């Protein structure tokens, strides 16, 4: 079957979705079957040898590369971790040889990488980093969902501390990019990780992730200090959805919000910010928390219509401020609620 299918190769120029093509082409199915067979054999053999697949299968992969079978490039990206497990030396040499691969074949490989999960392995990250760097320098030239996946890979490696916010780093390059959608992808990915991080049982791990996210947020807030277009403003306000990871309301957040020269604008996208702020009423008993909450609310404005959606949180915050000697901030918030035409604060004011 392999010998027959390798003779029936479509023109690369006719392929618009490498991932779908791999899963539906005859040679693609054969290649994936060979990987499955090799992994199963390696598992049953329980060997610690460096090479865990048969020479005959490796030779078939070499033949596919020699004949420029597009499926092999997608496969090596998509199943990189599996193939690396089967033969580290062969995989390392092959991936390095792809640094200067003809563009259409390299894009197929990168599209495969975009469909794989990041590997918690600093060695393999170093091996793939030049490909990530090339993707950024070429502005990806991939479909949006593949761009997003590659950026998520890089952001994940930042959370694993394989990547740092340094001038020669991959994430630094993305965050300094004029393509604000790249930055949006990064923020959205971190927001999706927020609940996972909060549920970690390892306290030190939660603290570490909170610091990494805070550092990234601070980096962007300083960079966006004087927003000059709508995309920048939207990203800046979207960052507010990352608030609430810290178990205590620390002064560093007050300093961070100081970089929001246009204030904290609560809209339909980041309205959970207010709920996270209210959380500190119950979880943080330090004497400074009332002052911090008042300062934050003094910086905050609400898009019309949002207040009604979070009315219970607003009421609790107002009562808390009145009861903790922050009357000016409480009255300011009451005025904003009434300005927008809502009267649910009247009982609080009258009491």
Q: What is the pLDDT of residues 262-315, one digit of tens each?
A: 999 999 999 999 999 999 998 888 889 999 999 999 999 999 989 999 999 999
20-28 contacts, C-beta under 8 A, 24 or more apart: 21/70, 21/71, 21/74, 22/71, 22/74, 22/75, 22/78, 22/112, 25/71, 26/1, 27/2, 27/64, 27/69, 27/71, 28/71, 28/74, 28/75
**pLDDT above 60: residue 2:** no
Which among 28-32, 68-72, 166-170, 217-221 has the top mean pLDDT?
Answer: 217-221
- Summarised one tens digit per residue, pLDDT across range 176-195 is 988 888 899 999 999 999 88
Residues 6 or more apart whose CB falls under 8 angstroms from that of 317 comprise: 274, 277, 278, 281, 293, 297, 333
**pLDDT above 50: residue 200:** yes
Q: How far is CA 247 from CA 188, 212, 250, 286, 350, in A?
A: 22, 15, 9, 12, 34
**Confidence (pLDDT) at 197:** 85
**Confidence (pLDDT) at 1:** 45
- Looking at residues 29-33, what average pLDDT do you find? 91
**Confidence (pLDDT) at 36:** 95
- Summarised one tens digit per residue, pLDDT across range 249-258 is 999 999 999 9
Angle between helices 55-66 and 70-78 (to 10 degrees): 120
**Confidence (pLDDT) at 247:** 85
- Bridge partners, residue 302, by sequence: 266
**Confidence (pLDDT) at 4:** 46
- Looking at residues 43-51, what average pLDDT do you find? 80
**Confidence (pLDDT) at 123:** 94
Side-chain-side CA neighbours of residue 329 (13 Å)? 23
**pLDDT above 90: residue 325:** yes
Q: b vs e for 137-157, b when ≥16 Cβ sit within 10 Å of the residue's Cβ?
A: eeebebeeebbbbbbbbbbbb
- Looking at residues 106-129, what average pLDDT do you find? 92
**Confidence (pLDDT) at 167:** 80
**Confidence (pLDDT) at 112:** 92
- Bridge partners, residue 51, by sequence: 87
**Confidence (pLDDT) at 140:** 54
- Looking at residues 12-26, what average pLDDT do you find? 73
- Looking at residues 97-123, what average pLDDT do you find? 90
Phi, psi of 159 (to 5 degrees): -65, -25
**Confidence (pLDDT) at 190:** 95
**Confidence (pLDDT) at 9:** 54
- The dihedral of CA 196, 197, 199, 202: what is its sign? positive
- Looking at residues 55-82, what average pLDDT do you find? 93
With a pLDDT cut of 70, the percent of the chain lying above it is: 93
d(CA 321, CA 335): 14
Q: Model confidence at 12, in pLDDT bands (50, 70, 90)?
A: low
Closest of 23, 57, 17 to residue 40, by C-alpha: 57
Range in 2-16, 19-33, 45-59 the model is least confident about: 2-16
Taking all residues of the chain, what is their mean pLDDT, rounded to a whole number?
A: 89
**pLDDT above 70: residue 111:** yes
**Confidence (pLDDT) at 195:** 81
């Amino acid at each position: 079957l392999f010998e027959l299918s390798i003779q029936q190769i479509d023109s690369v120029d006719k392929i618009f979705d490498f991932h779908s093509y791999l899963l539906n082409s005859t040679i693609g199915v054969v290649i994936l079957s060979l990987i499955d067979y090799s992994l199963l054999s390696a598992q049953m053999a329980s060997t610690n040898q460096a090479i865990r697949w048969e020479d005959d299968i490796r030779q078939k992969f070499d033949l596919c590369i020699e004949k420029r079978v597009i499926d092999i490039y997608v496969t090596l990206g998509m199943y990189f971790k599996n193939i690396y497990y089967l033969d580290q030396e062969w995989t390392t040499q092959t991936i390095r040889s792809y640094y200067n691969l003809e563009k259409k074949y390299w894009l197929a490989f990168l599209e495969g990488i975009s469909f794989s999960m990041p590997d918690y392995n600093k060695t393999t990250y170093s091996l793939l980093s030049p490909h990530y760097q090339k993707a950024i320098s070429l502005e990806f030239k991939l479909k949006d969902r593949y761009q997003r996946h590659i950026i998520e890979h890089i952001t994940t490696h930042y959370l694993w501390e394989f990547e740092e916010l340094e001038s020669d780093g991959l994430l630094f390059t993305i965050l300094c990019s004029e393509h604000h959608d790249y930055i949006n992808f990064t923020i959205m990915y971190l927001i999706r990780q927020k609940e996972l991080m909060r549920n970690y049982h390892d306290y030190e791990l939660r603290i570490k992730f909170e610091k990494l996210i805070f550092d990234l947020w601070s980096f962007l807030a300083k960079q966006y200090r004087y927003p000059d277009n709508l995309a920048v403003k939207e990203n800046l306000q979207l960052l507010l959805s990352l608030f609430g990871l810290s178990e205590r309301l620390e002064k560093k957040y007050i300093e961070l919000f100081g970089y929001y020269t246009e204030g904290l604008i609560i809209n339909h996208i980041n309205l959970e910010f207010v709920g996270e702020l209210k959380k500190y009423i119950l979880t943080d008993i330090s004497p400074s928390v009332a002052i911090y909450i008042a300062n934050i609310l003094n910086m905050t404005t609400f898009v019309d219509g949002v207040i009604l959606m979070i009315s219970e949180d607003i009421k609790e915050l107002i009562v808390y401020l009145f009861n903790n000697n922050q009357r000016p901030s409480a009255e300011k918030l009451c005025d904003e609620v009434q300005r927008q035409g809502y009267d649910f604060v009247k009982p609080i004011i009258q009491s």
